[in-house]
Each structure stands twice: as structure tokens, then as C-alpha cells.
């Protein structure tokens, strides 16, 4: 795939990941606090949130590997790490996003295997919130001192 295809796909998927995570957190909180049963819909939401995040991670890694900024960062690491924006996109962003995917995956797999519905909702709620917070930290917000990008390109 060329970057002309990957960049628009990456832009749409990142918003889909955030929307799916927010919806999953909402469903988990609603289920946990109201002591609902963990339905097939809840399980599908858990599964599809993780799947969408995994697809976004793969697309993000392809964009990362094709990025001229990242290539410069790794070719001249000593000089590039002094530049906060290069450090952010070359290392910090990708490491935090990988961590978020790992946390989300562990949460999804653990919730799936819990015996009670309350445990499933609680596990999903805690792990998905942690993954969401890591993602929020790793986003290059327009107001970020490390690296800023417009929210919509």
C-alpha cells in the first residue's frame, strides 16, 4: 500500500478507535454499575473494539515505517532526539500506542475469560480506560508542547 492510501485510512481509523473505545467504556460502566448481564452484544463490542484497534495499529505501523520524519529520526538519532517533535513521532508516540494496544488486548482477553458478568464488565472497564488514557496521552494535540498536529487533516 502506498502512503496516499494509508494516510486517509489512518486518519479515519484513529477516530473509529476512539469512538469504539468510548462506546465500550460506556457499555462496560453501564453494565457494571447496573449489574446487567453480559450479552452477546457486549461481547461483540468488546471484540470489535479490540479488532479495530489492532487494524489501526497495523496501519499506523505501516505509516510509521514509511514516514520520512521517522527515517530521519533513526538515521541521525543523536541529533534528532534533541528535537521534541522528532522524538515524539520517532519514539514516544509509537511506544505509547503499542502499550495501549497491549493493555487493550490484555483487557479484552481477560474480560472474555471471566466467570461472572460483573467481573467481565469490571475488567473491560478498567483495562479499556487505561488504554484510552494512554492513547489520549499519545495523541499529538494541537496544544501539545511535544508535537502538535491539527485534529483533522
Convert the pLDDT of each residue in 57-84 to its tens digit: 999 999 888 888 888 888 888 888 788 8
112 pLDDT more than 90: yes
Distance CA 131, CA 100 (A): 5
Entry field: residues in the chain:
153
140 CB burial (10 A radius; 0-12, 13-18, 19+): middle
Pick the more confident residue, 109 or 9: 109
What is the chain's percent helix, strand, coil content, to nearest 5?
80, 0, 20
Pick the more confident residue, 130 or 91: 130
105 pLDDT more than 60: yes
Note whether 140 and 148 are within 8 A (CB): yes
Residue 98 has a pLDDT of 96
What is this structure's pTM? 0.88
Distance CA 102, CA 104 (A): 5
**Per-residue cell: 10:** 489512518
Residue 3 has a pLDDT of 61
The long-range contacts involving 144-153, CB below 8 angstroms and separated by at least 24 positions, are 144/88, 145/84, 146/84, 146/85, 146/87, 146/88, 146/92, 147/84, 147/85, 147/88, 147/89, 147/93, 152/11, 153/7, 153/11
Residue 152 has a pLDDT of 65
**Cα–Cα distances in Å, from 108 out to 63, 128, 138?**
25, 8, 21
Out of 20-29, 37-46, 135-144, pick the least confident: 135-144
Per-residue pLDDT band for 10 (boundaries 50, 70, 90) equals confident
107 pLDDT more than 90: yes
Reported as a single tens digit per residue, the pLDDT across 114-144 is 999 999 999 999 999 999 999 999 988 888 7
Q: How is residue 114 annotated by DSSP?
A: -
Amino acid at each position: 500500500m502506498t502512503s496516499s492510501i494509508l494516510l486517509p485510512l489512518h486518519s479515519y481509523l484513529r477516530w473509529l478507535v476512539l469512538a469504539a473505545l468510548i462506546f465500550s467504556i460506556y457499555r462496560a460502566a453501564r453494565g457494571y454499575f447496573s449489574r446487567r448481564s453480559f450479552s452477546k452484544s457486549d461481547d461483540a463490542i468488546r471484540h470489535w473494539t479490540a479488532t479495530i484497534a489492532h487494524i489501526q495499529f497495523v496501519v499506523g505501523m505501516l505509516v510509521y515505517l514509511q514516514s520520512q520524519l521517522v527515517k530521519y529520526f533513526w538515521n541521525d538519532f543523536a541529533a534528532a532526539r534533541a528535537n521534541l517533535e522528532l522524538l515524539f513521532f520517532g519514539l514516544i508516540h509509537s511506544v505509547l500506542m503499542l502499550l495501549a494496544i497491549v493493555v487493550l488486548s490484555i483487557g479484552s482477553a481477560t474480560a472474555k475469560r471471566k466467570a461472572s458478568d460483573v467481573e467481565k464488565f469490571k475488567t473491560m472497564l478498567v483495562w479499556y480506560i487505561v488504554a484510552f488514557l494512554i492513547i489520549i496521552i499519545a495523541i499529538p494535540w494541537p496544544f501539545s508542547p511535544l508535537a502538535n498536529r491539527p485534529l483533522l487533516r
